[in-house]
Amino acid sequence: MATPVVLTIALALTGCTGDEPGSAATDDARAPDDQVSRQLDAARQQGASEEQLQIIESGEVTFDAYEAAVLRTIECLQDEGFDVDGPEVVELSGFPEVTYTYPVWTEGRTDEEAGQVARACEDEHSSAVQGLYRNSPEAQQAQAALVAEHRPAVVTCLQDQGVEATGDEELDALDTLVAQGEEATGTNCYLEQGIFRVAVLTP
């Protein structure tokens, strides 16, 4: 039986002004105080490290600070016996992301036990930071720009699936259509255009 492999994408945001990775985030990148408060509470419950809590509490992040959090996660996984491949910086969503993979298996553990250990490493060092910035203005703007660039091809894909799409839909509505098309055909029209964007059906 093949060993399951986990692909982890850790968001690493840079400013929209074209700053190079490692530069400070702009004031506009700061998360709302209520979002920061909720993330801090959730992170503490998950056992987040003090380094991660400090990043969350600041409400903003530099690439270097986030990359360090990801590297601490990878170091934790390696210390626990996981064979980690990465990190690698990619741009699947219109902005830089850090990816790494590892098989969910270690000597002397069941797959379930290994998964729990891996999750603990991620929760301690980077999961909450990733969640905080996934919905940041920079991330949303970058994804919206990427979708706009590929919108005609996405709409054509949807129409080929039998989904009624005009191309004039708001982004949220387009997300819903993509999710409908995927549910009906098994093909995600975003992924077909190389866009890594989550589209789910809402009740």
Amino acid at 39: Q
In the prediction, which pLDDT does 18 show? 31
In the prediction, which pLDDT does 32 show? 63
Q: Residue 11 corresponds to which tokens in the numbers above?
A: 């968001």
In the prediction, which pLDDT does 169 show? 94
Count CB neighbours of 125 within 10 A: 25
Asked if residue 139 lies in contact with residue 13, where contact means CB atoms within 8 angstroms, the answer is yes
Asked if residue 12 lies in contact with residue 21, where contact means CB atoms within 8 angstroms, the answer is yes
In the prediction, which pLDDT does 13 show? 36
Q: Residue 26 corresponds to which tokens in the numbers above?
A: 């702009």
DSSP-derived 3-state class of residue 26: coil
In the prediction, which pLDDT does 26 show? 38
Which parts of the chain have pLDDT scores under 70? 1-32, 35, 62, 133, 135, 199-203
pTM of the model: 0.69
Q: Residue 142 corresponds to which tokens in the numbers above?
A: 């970058």
Asked if residue 194 lies in contact with residue 171, where contact means CB atoms within 8 angstroms, the answer is no
In the prediction, which pLDDT does 79 show? 96
pLDDT, tens digit, for every residue of 49-62?
999 999 888 878 76
pLDDT, tens digit, for every residue of 141-169?
888 999 999 999 999 999 999 999 999 99
In the prediction, which pLDDT does 36 show? 75
